[in-house]
Amino acid sequence: MTEYKEIATPSRTKEILKQHGFSFKKSLGQNFLTEPNILRKIVETAGIDRQTNVIEVGPGIGALTEQLAKNAAQVLTFEIDDRLIPVLEDTLSPYSNVTVVHKDVLKADLITTTKDVFKEELPIKVVANLPYYITTPIMMHFLESDLEVSEMIVMMQKEVADRISAKPSTKAYGSLSIAVQYFMEASIAFIVPKTVFIPQPNVDSAIIKLTKRDKPAVDVTNEKEFFKLTKASFQLRRKTLWNNLTHSYGKDETTKELLTKSLTEAEIDPSRRGETLSLEEFARLSNQLEKNRSL
């Protein structure tokens, strides 16, 4: 293959933007990375090789897509901005193993699309520089879908990455930490400074690596209720678990009796705060609530 000048260098990025008369849309959270070494490090962290199919979200002008295409079997990328489709046709023309789908990934049928695009049944990894404003919905869309994703290696605002990988009794720990860690093992791989983007965002980013667990981290009898409970427990951040639960579930006598009985049987002090409870404790409480509701 002919060697092409990499998309991600600052000079080539500016050249592409000028050539296509492209202007950034703040509403789409567009920040393009202009440091090829960081992109190569992302691909390396993700362990992408010819035995891997990759899904990318928000390719921009194709800087990360290019590095993925050089290493993966196939790359399927979702782009919502119609102005970028002709740009990507141009920048990614050297790579026959890339398919650009002009669609909002949140509205995409992931199973059907991957079956249509990927020629071989290989492990699927999600590798993306996620738009800040929609990071969590995109991640949860993949986690809650039936698509078998072995790993997600995604760039996001450092603060969100801290929340996802947080441990109990830390300031960053919350319902998002639990929602992700229930399905995946989470760890921050490395930090990306804000100076390597055009336009420059206000904060640094982080690459987070999420590896799918063989089975969820804890056994719960009702997944939906488990997530409802964890959300409720963090609603009023500085309040006790009891205050949060009565605020969400109700303050009538029947509800208070149900909560008291369940907390006692789960051996959890109602005066604790939500952020001190581990996934195991939340699972225990959720299962007791479920059990006592059916009595």
Instruction: Locate the DSSP E strands across 48-118.
Output: 53-57, 74-79, 98-102
33 assigned binding-site residue: yes
Q: What is the CB neighbour count within 10 angstroms for residue 161?
A: 25
Residue 243 assigned to a binding site: no
* Strand 124-129 to 53-57 pairing: parallel
The amino acid sitting at 100 is: V
Provide the token pair at 102.
């002009």
Summarize the chain as % helix, strand, coil (round to 5): 45, 20, 35
Q: How far apart are CA 65 and CA 62, in angstroms?
A: 5
Report the amino acid identity of residue 38.
I
The response to whether 104 counts as a known ligand-binding position is yes
129 has binding-site annotation: yes
Residue type, 269: D
- How far apart are alpha carbons 20 and 62 in whole angstroms? 14
215-224, long-range: CB < 8 A, 24+ apart: 216/182, 216/183, 217/181, 217/182, 217/183, 217/279, 218/182, 218/279, 218/280, 218/282, 218/283, 219/283, 219/287, 220/283, 220/286, 220/287, 221/286, 221/287, 221/290, 221/291, 222/286, 222/290
Q: Establish whether 82 is an annotated binding residue.
A: no
- Give dist(CA 47, CA 25) in Å, integer: 32
Q: Token pair of 81, please? A: 């901005």
Contact criterion met (CB below 8 Å) for 219 and 232: no
Which amino acids are annotated as binding site, given as ranges? 31, 33, 58, 79, 104, 129
Which amino acids are annotated as binding site for S-adenosyl-L-methionine, given as ranges? 31, 33, 58, 79, 104, 129
